[in-house]
Amino acid sequence: MCLIAFAWRKHPRYRLVLAANRDEFHSRPTAPAQAWADLPGAHGGRDLRQGGSWLLATENDRMAAVTNVRNGLEDPDAQWRSRGELVLDFVRAAPRPSDWLAELSLRAASYGPFNLLLGASGELHFASNRPRYRHRPLKPGVHALSNGDLDAPWPKSLRLRDAVAAWIEMEASMDDWPPVQKLFTALSDTREAPDAQLPRTGVPIELERRLSATFINGASYGTRASSLLLLDDDEAVLYERRYAPHGHFEGESVLRFPVVRATGAALPS
């Protein structure tokens, strides 16, 4: 993921409403969001190069999502472990989030720069390994997370956060199949931020402009998937819309699955 906005315990029905875009090279092999045959109970997309994921939710009430942290151009020769491994490792584990995050402190520096959002046991936590490893539980609120710190006021983060905040106030958002097009419309925003509002992340200004859009159109790199996750006490709905180069629509998945509060057991593997 490169952009996530989410409402935690602010909606009368859904304890988590999450909207996100995954930006990636179009050549990177990817499986669409689906139920994982080799990890029963897990639902989400899969990176076919490293085997991890950018967003997963499970029937035993665990979820995780990850973004990278941008601080200049990444060294292609750096021997970092895949960030998607963190998502997979957490959802198939059993410990409470705080215990798992404490253990992660021992190996966090071996991963590429990451922001991590994870939930289980009725809790939601944020973690990052830049500029140093840290983690904390999140209180109820509406937040945004991109390639900087949590709630950093990047223009695209603020726009998507505001869209999520407006959506959870809609009466129709309580429906069994709520209207989600307004959220997908917000995720498809191709406007670039004015130079005066751009973050300074160490990449050339031309690239900074391109990356400032919520939805990135490109021939080789761009938004590959837009995702929505709605999670209540009994079930989850995961929507994914996929895109080819230049933003051409490629397909859609809608996954609805039961959620049972975790009892300390890990997913069978």
Give the whole-angstrom CA distance, residue 257 versus residue 40: 12
263 burial via Cβ count (<10 Å: 0-12, 13-18, 19+): exposed
What pLDDT, on a 0 to 100 scale, did the predictor assign at position 69?
95
CB-based contact 36:42 (threshold 8 Å) = yes
Q: What are phi and psi of 252, to 5 degrees?
A: -145, 145
Residue-wise pLDDT tens for the chain (269 aa)? Answer: 899 999 999 999 999 999 999 999 999 999 999 999 999 999 999 999 999 999 999 999 999 999 999 987 666 557 899 999 999 999 999 999 999 999 999 999 999 999 999 999 899 999 999 999 999 999 999 999 999 999 999 999 999 999 999 999 999 999 999 999 999 999 999 999 999 999 999 999 999 999 999 999 999 999 999 999 999 999 999 999 999 999 999 999 999 999 997 655 567 65
Q: Which residue segments constitute the domains of the chain, with CATH numbers given?
A: 3-258 (3.60.60.10)
Give the whole-angstrom CA distance, residue 33 versus residue 45: 4
How distant, in Å, are the alpha carbons of 6, 8, 51, 168, 259 from that of 116?
13, 15, 17, 23, 21
ω into 131 cis (within 30 of 0)? yes
**Which amino acid is residue 6, in one-letter code?**
F
How distant, in Å, are the alpha carbons of 16, 57, 78, 192 from that of 64?
12, 7, 24, 28
